[in-house]
Structure 1
Amino acid sequence: MKHYHYIFTGTGLSALMTVYEMVLSGKFKDKSILLIDENSKKTNDRTWCFWDDKGLYDDLASAQWNSAWFKNETFERQLNLNPYQYKMVKGLDFYNRVFELISKEENITFLNQKVIDFQELGHHCVVKTEQESFTCNQIFNSIFNPELVKTQTKYPFLHQHFIGWFIKSKEPVFNPDCATFMDFSVEQKGNTRFMYVLPTSTTEALLEYTLFSKDLLAKEEYETEIKNYINKLGITNYELVEKEQGNIPMTCYPFWQHNSKNILNIGSAGGWTKASTGYTFKNTVKKSQVLVQFLSKENDLTKFHKADKFWFYDLLLLDILDQKNHLGSTIFSSMFEKGNATVIFKFLDEETSFGEDLQVIWKCPKMLFIKALFRRIIR
């Protein structure tokens, strides 16, 4: 069996971002690295959006917005995002960027196979695919195992699930300078449901029907709601250019408990997704950079994770949505109706001081969170 220093089982965003940061650091040229995935990453299978004030991936962003609408059934507010910009990066553009870089690195190999098992055996690890096996010093696993969460009840488990349509309309109804961040004016039907609208011209946009809930929908229900929203915008003639579909786990389950000295769970498999919003891209950039710095100094992967106050904030919100899923619109609307948008985005980026935390938290329905806190304490 061929031996590597590091093997990445799965090459989702977290694996590719980590390897990308490894190459940029210049500190891992003496380490052999193998990436294994059954997906060759040659299609545009997803779109990532994030807000940023530091020029992050400006050259890769297919669109950027300086303002965004927040809406519900009773009010709407145009948010000035300054100093942030809301950005969209297409999956294929990111994949191409990473693979172009790593193709020049002689120590990095990509294998298009399906991983069926991996385990730690004393001082080394073994990874098995459907065709062959490999050994390595350490494994970075991004293959999500939902059974870890489904078989326990201490930590709630919701899905952020969605279908998105890229459309081109005959009518110029979109404002390419302003995105719709969340539109809760759609019928909630006992859940947390909203629309994203990400316009790239006056006639082109990505419309995404999104839910935070326990159960998925039939494909037809998502698409019916998208059609209804298109009609509501006054669009009578349009071309469906592309579709995307996704399901992001939303949970504060402590995945890090399954890490070992030589196996680290990353990405959704390691709890890298922002549990309260499902946002992944910015969190992964931060986590991968911290991980690369960690690896240059430390060899015991059990020491990587540290829980913080934001993990607990997210846990309380998920506790509420788990029991009363229809209150998502109420909670997010209370934050954005009169709150400082810059502080809210900074809070969601987990970069606020405790004083700034309170500016956001006090806008939320207090009794909901107080009750959730007491339930969590006695749980």
Structure 2
Amino acid sequence: MDVDLALIGYGGATSLLLSALDRRGVGGLRIATVDPDVTHGHHRTWAFWTGPRDDLDPILDAAWPRVDLYGPGGARRLDLGPMRYAMVQSGPIFQRAGEAAARLGVRGISASAAALDDDGTEVTVRDGDGAAIVRAKWALDSRPAAPERPGRTFWLQHFRGWWVRAEADVFDPGSAILMDFRTPQPARGVSFGYVLPTGPRSALIEYTEFSPARLDDAGYETALRSYLKLLRLPDLVVEKVEDGAIPMTDAPFAQRPSPRVVRLGTAGGATRPSTGYTFSAMRRQAEQIAGAVLAGSDPVPAPAYPRRHMWMDAVALRAWDRGLVAAPAFFERLFTRNPPERVLRFLDGLTSPAEEVALMASTPLLPMTWAAAGDLFARLRG
């Protein structure tokens, strides 16, 4: 089969791209998806920052104009206006993508892509036996991939969340707990809790760590039960469980490993190293590719984040990993010494250099300077 676009892997990045192509009215393209799992894998939830209106509004689980932060200095409520913190589950995203794929005439191929042979003019997607599955002008690959080289720091954002329901009104749907650092802190890393209400009696409650390694099941179970006790919530019914791990590293990912292969999602640099946030960058990649296709250009998105942001993230990771700065105090200062809207745009990679100078000035300057010097020395030595 010959196609214009072969979409390798059918997860969040591909789903957002199909919806963007459909919404832009891209027609006449021959598109195929290649993935052995037609169910899109396990259930997941994405959280992201957005403005007062969003095309995902009809399928959002919730959006909050205010968030609560529990740091070393106590509890603080932050008004995010005009932005919102929003949450969407993967099911509606995949459903919209399936409807878009039907309108676009996408051919779904249930197979594992073992090799992408790029000769500079087309890409041949091959299975594990070397047989050709599909030939494409471009392959857009959203499967997990290793970085080009090891990073100087490698952590994980790893988490487990419980979707819970209460018998009485115990949650405030107008506000979410964004970071609650009252959780016991690991010896190396940082932990915090989330509470994301979807109604007065329902919420996603999550325990998250930034650290080098995941916990076992008993560790997550203990951490979540301890956090519920801290929140002083009544008995709750756990309706669903979800977990995951996202890389937090200054290791570079090759967005374009060969002339006609483009990587999307985490493998394409969409994950913010200092926070693990990925969804907004995946959306930008999808919109940029759809716009390029509509204009007759190569389907190659811009880098997910400016290079200066990647450097700042590398310095922050180094500072936390070497114990130069405590992450709870770092995030508390960042949010409380800057307008929240500026911080959110920075986390999405959208701030100006002048705004970033103000953000850096609000962090602990001496230890961050030591971290920057150490990062520079490591780069020169490397």
- Stretch deviating more after TM superposition (18-27 or 217-226): 18-27
- CA-to-aligned-CA distance 1:149-197 (integer Å, 9 cap, x gap): 6xx4444222111110001123432111110011011011222111110
Give yes or no for the alignment of 1:92 onto 2:91: yes
Cα deviations across residues 126-147 of structure 1 (Å, max 9, x unaligned)? 212358522211111111123x
Name 2:177's counterpart in structure 1: 180
- Asked if 1:10 is matched to 2:9, the reply is yes
Of 141, 146, 160, the match for 1:163: 160
Query: 8 Å contact 2:324–2:367 — kept in the other structure?
Result: no
SS of 1:4's equivalent in the other structure is: strand
Task: Give 1:74 shift.
Answer: 4.0
Residues 284-326 of structure 1: CA deviation (Å, up to 9, x unaligned): 111221233334343385x954843222222221222333397
Q: Structure 2-normalised TM-score?
A: 0.90
Name the SS of the counterpart of 2:114 in structure 1. Answer: strand
Q: Distance in 2 between matches of 1:232 and 1:63?
A: 24
Secondary structure of 2:254's match?
Answer: helix
Aligned to 1:121: 119
Counterparts of 1:371 and 1:167, CA distance in 2: 43
Partner of 1:61: 60
**Match among 33, 36, 41 for residue 34 of structure 2:** 36
Residue pair 1:261, 1:300 contacting (<8 A) in 2 also: no
Q: Secondary structure at the match of 1:97?
A: helix
Residues 44 and 90, structure 1, Cα contact 8 Å, conserved in 2: no
The change in CA–CA distance for 1:62 and 1:305 in structure 2 (over 3 A counts) is: closer
Mean CA deviation greater in 366-375 or 92-101: 366-375
Q: 2:286 aligns with which of 264, 285, 288?
A: 288
* Aligned partner of residue 217 in structure 1, secondary structure: coil
Distance 1:326 1:109 in 2: 50
> Using the alignment, how far apart are the partners of 1:92 and 1:322 within structure 2?
35
When residues 282 and 175 of structure 1 are mapped into structure 2, their CA distance, relative to the original with a 3 A threshold, is same
User: 1:143·1:269 contact (CA, 8 Å) conserved in 2?
Assistant: yes
Match of residue 138 from structure 1: 138
User: Displacement of 1:6 after TM fit?
Assistant: 1.2
Contact 1:255 / 1:265 at 8 angstroms: preserved in 2?
A: no
Range 288-297 or range 270-279, more displaced: 288-297
Given the two structures, how large is their TM-score scaled by the length of structure 1? Answer: 0.91
For 1:73 and 1:336, the matched residues in 2 are separated by 13
1:69 and 1:305 map into 2 onto residues whose CA distance is 31
CA RMSD of aligned residues (A): 2.3
Q: Would the aligned equivalents of 2:285 and 2:302 in 1 still touch at CA under 8 Å?
A: no
**Structure 2 partner of 1:195:** 193
Secondary structure at 1:21 match in 2:
helix
Matches within 5 A, 1:1-379: 2-27=1-26, 29-41=27-39, 45-56=43-54, 57-106=56-105, 108-129=106-127, 133-146=133-146, 148=147, 152-190=149-187, 191-256=189-254, 259-295=257-293, 296-299=295-298, 304-305=302-303, 307-324=306-323, 327-378=326-377, 379=379
Calculate percent identity across the aligned residue pairs.
25
Unpaired segments of 5 or more residues in structure 1? none
Shift, 1:278, TM fit:
1.0
Asked if structure 1 preserves the Cα contact closer than 8 Å seen for 2:160 and 2:243, the reply is yes
Structure 2 counterpart SS, 1:260: coil
Supply the AA of the counterpart residue of 1:292. A
Distance in 2 of aligned mates of 1:51 and 1:305:
19
For each residue in 1:329-350, what CA deviation from the matched residue of structure 2 results, as whole angstroms up to 9, or x when unmatched? 1211221234321221122122
Instruction: Output the CA distance in 1 between the equivalents of 2:324 and 2:194.
Output: 19
Q: How far does the alpha carbon of each residue in 1:48-90 deviate from its partner, in whole angstroms, 9 at most, with x for none?
A: 1112115121112111111110102441100111101111111
Measure, in 2, the Cα distance between the counterparts of 1:325 and 1:8. Answer: 43
Contact 1:42–1:92 (8 Å) recurs in 2: no
Q: Are the aligned partners of 2:120 and 2:259 in contact in 1 as well (CA < 8 Å)? A: no
CA contact (8 A) 1:125 1:139 kept: yes
User: How far 1:268 moved relative to its partner?
Assistant: 0.7
| 1:41/1:92 contact within 8 Å kept | no
SS in 2 for 1:309: helix
Q: Secondary structure at the match of 1:345?
A: helix
Structure 1 stretch displaced more, 76-85 or 285-294: 285-294
Task: Please state whether the residue corresponding to 2:59 is helix, strand or coil.
Answer: coil
